[in-house]
């Protein structure tokens, strides 16, 4: 890991987060939102990967110190997440990031639970969010108000996904397009949920993960430059 843990202000409170900066010290900002496991090393590694590509990455700890290492515990943490608090944490993350990064708006990317929260972040902080990337996003309690979304959305979804199905991906894409916003959605053949997570050999698909990563970098460079 090359980043550091920091705390930022969030509507009167403080939220811990992992901050990773490029060698240059500055660049476009990206908020990286965790899976249902919490702020684990994989998410920190993704933030470091963004930093290596010239971005300033901030990964907020939406569970405030809690992590899970098995699905039952992760599911309980996800369902216990206070959505109003998450909204405050996400707004605070975008605002804090813009004090650390170049540009007037930040990108937001999330995985699994975080994918849905990335879209949500675009609706609760539309003035700070300039691009959204959703990797197989799912959270049954998060219902974004798409009329407030102002950012283009890139989607990366799996063909075989019981959580975020291709039909759900197409529905999401339609809701974004209905607001007159740009979309770039792709459903990866032969993949399953969490295909980007290289710490999950049961799910990881290197070819799809690399393609989705390349698309993500190009998308953020286009909309955050």
Closest residue by Cα to residue 19 from 106, 125, 78, 79: 106
> 83-100 vs 113-124: helix axis angle to the nearest 10?
70
Q: What is the pLDDT averaged over residues 40-51?
A: 98
CA dist list (Å): 25 to 21, 56, 153, 160: 6, 8, 27, 40
90 vs 200: CA distance, rounded Å: 26
The number of folded domains in the chain is: 1
Integer distance in angstroms from the first to the last C-alpha of the chain?
Answer: 26
Interval 100-159: pLDDT, tens = 999 999 999 999 999 999 999 999 999 999 999 999 999 999 999 999 999 999 999 999
Q: Which is more confident, 98 or 225?
A: 98
Residue 46 pLDDT greater than 80, yes or no: yes
Domain housing 187: 4-224
| pTM check: above 0.85 | yes
Q: What is the CATH number of the domain that holds 117?
A: 3.40.50.1820
pLDDT value, residue 104? 93
Residue with tokens 């990967």: 49
Q: What is the pLDDT averaged over residues 5-26?
A: 93
Residue 1 pLDDT greater than 60, yes or no: no
Compute the 3-state secondary structure of the chain and give helix, strand, coil in percent, each to the nearest 5. 40, 30, 35
153 vs 130: CA distance, rounded Å: 9
């Amino acid at each position: 890991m090359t980043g550091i843990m920091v705390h930022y202000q969030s509507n009167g409170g403080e939220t811990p987060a992992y901050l990773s900066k490029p060698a240059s010290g500055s660049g476009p900002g990206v908020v990286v939102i965790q899976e249902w496991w919490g702020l684990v090393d994989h998410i920190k590694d993704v933030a470091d990967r963004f930093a290596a590509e010239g971005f300033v990455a901030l990964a907020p700890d939406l569970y405030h110190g809690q992590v899970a290492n098995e699905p039952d515990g992760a599911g309980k943490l996800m369902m216990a997440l206070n959505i109003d608090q998450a909204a405050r944490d996400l707004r605070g993350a975008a605002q804090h990031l813009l004090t650390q990064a170049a540009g007037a708006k930040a990108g937001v990317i999330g995985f699994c639970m975080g994918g849905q929260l990335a879209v949500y972040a675009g609706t609760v902080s539309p003035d700070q969010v300039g691009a959204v990337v959703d990797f197989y996003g799912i959270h049954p309690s998060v219902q974004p108000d798409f009329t407030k979304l102002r950012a283009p959305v890139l989607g990366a979804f799996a063909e075989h996904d019981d959580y975020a199905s291709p039909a759900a991906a197409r529905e999401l894409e339609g809701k974004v397009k209905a607001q007159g916003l740009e979309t770039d959605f792709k459903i990866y053949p032969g993949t399953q949920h969490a295909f980007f997570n290289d710490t999950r050999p049961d799910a990881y698909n290197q070819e799809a993960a690399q393609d989705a990563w390349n698309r993500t970098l190009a998308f953020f460079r286009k909309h955050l430059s």
